[in-house]
Structure 1
Amino acid sequence: MSIIDVQNLTKIYPVAIKKPGFKGTLTHFFRRTYREIKAVQNVSFQIQPEEIVGFLGANGAGKTTTLKMLTGLIHPSQGQVRVANHIPFRRQPQFLRQTSLVMGQKQQLLWDLPALDSLRINAAVYNISDQVFKQRLTELATMLAIEDKLNQPVRKLSLGERMKAELLAALLHHPKVLFLDEPTLGLDVNAQVAVREFLQEYNQRYGATILLTSHYMADITALCDRVLLIHQGQLIYDGSLDRLLERYSPCREVKIELAQPIPAEKLADFGEIEAIAGQEVRFLVPRENLTATIAHILAKLPIQDLSVKDPPIEEIIGRLFEAGKVA
C-alpha cells in the first residue's frame, strides 16, 4: 500500500490585476479583478514505504507548493492526497507525528539559544518522555556527528552544523515520512556529503520514506533511484533515474591520454571528437558502440590512460526542462 498517494493534485492562486495610474489604483481598491495562476496542475503519483524519491524542477515549477500540500500547510484547489493514510490539510495529531518537513532556507531552531533547548521544546511538543528523548538525541547526534555542538547558541554554528541540528530537530519524533526541500542549500562539499550519508543511513535504519527536492544533482544521484520531474506545474516524468539518463544521453564520453601526439584526422575513425588538448582527446561514443570502440582504441592507439563517463547529469535534466516534456 502506498504511503503517499496523490491524485490530480492542483493548486490555483488568484492574483490581483492592477492597472497603472491613479484611476487604476482606485479601481483596484473598489472593484478588484483577478487572474488565476496554476502553480500545480493535475499532478498524480504514488510513493511506496521506504522509498527515497527525487523531486526535480526549475525555480517556480511547483515543487515547494506540492510539498506544502503534502504536509498540509496549504489546501489544494482540486484533487486528492493521502500521506500515511491521512488527509494532510486536516492536520490531525497522528498525521503530524508521522511526518516532517525540512526546508533548507527556513529554520525552526531558536537563533540565540543552544540547539539543545529547542530540541527539548520539540520533545515536549511531541510528548516524548525524557528517557526516549535522551536515547534518540544520543543516537541521532552520533549519526550526524554533532554531539559537541548542541550546547552552543545556534547563531554560532556553521551553516553545515546548523543544517545538521535542523535535521535532528525534524527527526526527533521518528517520522515515517520525511519531506526535504533543498536540505543541502548553501552547504560546502563536505557538509553536503555528510547530510547525504546521514539521510541514507536514516532511511536504512528506520525505514523512513523520503521525498527530496534539490538543485544539487549529486544529492539526487547519491540517494534516489526514482525521480519525478515537474515543469510549469505539470508532472512530465515519473520513473527510474538510470532509465531517464540512458534515454536522453545516447552517448558516453571517452577520454584518452596518448603516449604521443596524433593528428586529428587520424583520430576521426574512433568516434566524434569533442575536444583535443595536447595528448588528451575526448570522444563522444554511442552507448551501443562503446565496447567495440574502446577495444578499437586500445588496439590501434598508444594509450597512457583511458576513462569513460556519462555527460553531466545537469546538462541532461536542463535540456528536458528547456523542452518542457519527456518524449
Structure 2
Amino acid sequence: MPQMIDVEGLNKSFRIGVKRTGALGGLLSVIKPELREVQAVQDLSLKVAAGEMVGLIGPNGAGKSTSIKMMTGILVPTSGAIRVAGLVPFRQRRDLAARIGVVFGQRSQLWWDLPLIDSLHLLRYLYRVPEERYKTNLVHLRKMLELDEFIHTPVRQLSLGQRMRGDLAAALLHDPELLYLDEPTIGLDVVAKARIREFLRAINKERGTTILITTHDMDDVEALCERMLIIDHGRKLYDGTVANIRERFGGERVLIAVLDTTDSEAASIIGVEHLPEGVRLIRSEGPRIWLGFGRESMPAHMLISWLGEHYQLRDVTFQEPEIEDIIRRIYEEGLLLKNISKELEQI
C-alpha cells in the first residue's frame, strides 16, 4: 500500500522563557530573558498506509498535538523529514489542505450563529468544491450522519453530539484522502459515540479514507483501530496492534464458569490447593466461580479442559482487562521506555 503519512526522525523543540523571582525578576525577564529549550517531539518515525485507521495515544504533554500540527503544516519541524500525501506539509500547506480534513473535538470550524447548512455552504466555497460534487457529497453526508433533523438549526443551539456530526460533515465535504481526528468523541454520550464510530468505520471501508485518531478514550481505539501508536515525552514508545499490547501487558485474565449443579455451595469445593499452578480462585457465588490466571501460566483452552475433567460445566466466559487499565499500567510502571517495540515484534 502507498504511504499516506511518512515521518522519519522528526524533532520539534521550543524555546520558552524562564520566570525569574525576586524584586527585579519581572524586569530582568523582559530586559534580558532567560530561555530554556523544551523538546516536544524527539526522533519520531512512523508510516501510515493509505486506507489505514490508526490510533495515536499518550498522556497530556506527550507530543500528540505537536506531531499533528507538523503533519498538517501548522508547525515547522526543527529537524527530520515528513511527507503527507506525497507533500511536505509546511512547504505545501495550501495544496495539502485540499487533501486532508481535520476535526478537533473541543473546537469547531462551523459558524456559531449560522444554521449548519449555511456553514457547509460557505465551506464549499472555501474549499472550492465544484457544485455537482458538493451536492453529491452533501446528500451522502446528510444521510450517513442523519443531519436533516438539525441542519437548519444554528450551530450554537446544537448538542455536542450534533455539532460533532456537523464538524465531520464539514471536514469531509471536499473528499479528503486523510482525516485527522482529535478527541472526536470527547464529552459524548454512549449513543452519540456509537453513531460517530459507525460513521468512521463506514467512510474508512467505503471510501478508503485514511484516519488518524488522537484520543484519551481507549474504547475509541479498540473499537476502530487495529493498530495504535503510543507516544510519551515526544518519543514513540509503541507501534503495533492493540491485540499485541493486550497480550504482552494485559496481566491477569478472568474465567467465569457456571458449574452444572443444584448445590448452591458446590463452587466452594474448588479449593486453592486443588487449582493448577498459576490459577487462583477470586470468588464464588453459588454455582458460579471466578478464576484468575496469567497469560503465561496457563492457556485459556487448557484451563477450560482442566475444569471439564473435574466438574460438569454449564457455561464459561472470559473477562479481559480493560485496555485503558493496561495503558495506565504501562505509563505508571514505565514498561515501555526502552524495549517494548522490540519485545512486541518478537511475539
TM-score range for the pair, normalised by the shorter chain length = over 0.9
Give me the whole-angstrom Cα distance separating, in 2, the residues matched to 1:215 and 1:285: 28
Query: Does structure 1 residue 96 correspond to structure 2 residue 97?
Result: yes
Q: Which residue of 1 aligns with 2:289?
A: 281
Question: 1:150-165 counterparts in 2 under 5 A?
Answer: 150-165=151-166
Give me the whole-angstrom Cα distance separating, in 2, the residues matched to 1:316 and 1:162: 32
2:303 to 281, 287, 293: 293
Q: What's the secondary structure of 2:153's corresponding residue? A: coil
Q: Which residue of 1 aligns with 2:58?
A: 57
Query: Does structure 1 residue 175 correspond to structure 2 residue 185?
Result: no
Give me the whole-angstrom Cα distance separating, in 2, the residues matched to 1:88 and 1:299: 62
- Once the two structures are superposed, residues 296-316 of structure 1 have per-residue CA deviations (whole angstroms, 9 ceiling, x without a partner) of 223423544321132111111
CA contact 1:99–1:177 (8 Å) conserved in 2: yes
Segment of structure 1 superposing worse, 288-297 or 146-155: 288-297
Give 1:119 deviation, angstroms.
0.4
CA contact 1:252–1:309 (8 Å) conserved in 2: yes
Q: Which residue of 2 aligns with 1:222?
A: 223
Q: What's the secondary structure of 1:316's corresponding residue? A: helix
CA contact 2:72–2:96 (8 Å) conserved in 1: no
Q: What's the secondary structure of 1:25's corresponding residue? A: helix
Equivalences, count? 327
Q: What's the secondary structure of 1:242's corresponding residue? A: helix
Give 1:147 deviation, angstroms.
2.1
Question: 1:122-271 counterparts in 2 under 5 A?
Answer: 122-249=123-250, 251-258=252-259, 259=261, 260-261=264-265, 262-263=267-268, 266-267=271-272, 269=275
2:320 to 310, 317, 323: 310
- Once the two structures are superposed, residues 266-323 of structure 1 have per-residue CA deviations (whole angstroms, 9 ceiling, x without a partner) of 2550563363153343222234421121122234235443211321111111122221
Q: Which residue of 2 aligns with 1:19?
A: 20
Name structure 2 gaps, 5 residues minimum: none
Give me the whole-angstrom Cα distance separating, in 2, the residues matched to 1:86 and 1:284: 51
Give me the whole-angstrom Cα distance separating, in 1, the residues matched to 2:6 and 2:318: 39
Q: What's the secondary structure of 1:19's corresponding residue? A: coil
Could you say if the C-alpha distance between residues 255 and 90 of structure 1 is closer, same or farther in structure 2, counting changes exceeding 3 Å? Answer: same
Segment of structure 1 superposing worse, 243-252 or 101-110: 243-252
Question: 1:40-51 counterparts in 2 under 5 A?
Answer: 40-51=41-52
Give me the whole-angstrom Cα distance separating, in 1, the residues matched to 2:143 and 2:33: 56
TM-score when normalising by structure 2: 0.89
Give 1:142 deviation, angstroms.
0.7
Name structure 1 gaps, 5 residues minimum: none
Segment of structure 1 superposing worse, 280-289 or 188-197: 280-289
Segment of structure 1 superposing worse, 266-275 or 33-42: 266-275
Give me the whole-angstrom Cα distance separating, in 2, the residues matched to 1:82 and 1:149: 38
- Once the two structures are superposed, residues 137-159 of structure 1 have per-residue CA deviations (whole angstroms, 9 ceiling, x without a partner) of 11011111222211111122111
Give 1:44 deviation, angstroms.
0.4
* Equivalent residue letter for 2:144: M
Q: What's the secondary structure of 1:152's corresponding residue? A: coil
Segment of structure 1 superposing worse, 304-313 or 9-18: 304-313
Give me the whole-angstrom Cα distance separating, in 1, the residues matched to 2:251 and 2:20: 50
CA contact 2:62–2:233 (8 Å) conserved in 1: yes
Q: Which residue of 2 aligns with 1:80?
A: 81
Segment of structure 1 superposing worse, 19-28 or 250-259: 250-259
* Equivalent residue letter for 1:307: T
Give me the whole-angstrom Cα distance separating, in 2, the residues matched to 1:97 and 1:289: 50
Give me the whole-angstrom Cα distance separating, in 2, the residues matched to 1:97 and 1:2: 18
Q: What's the secondary structure of 1:21's corresponding residue? A: coil
TM-score when normalising by structure 1: 0.94
2:279 to 268, 272, 283: 272
Give me the whole-angstrom Cα distance separating, in 2, the residues matched to 1:297 and 1:176: 51
Give me the whole-angstrom Cα distance separating, in 2, the residues matched to 1:122 and 1:172: 8
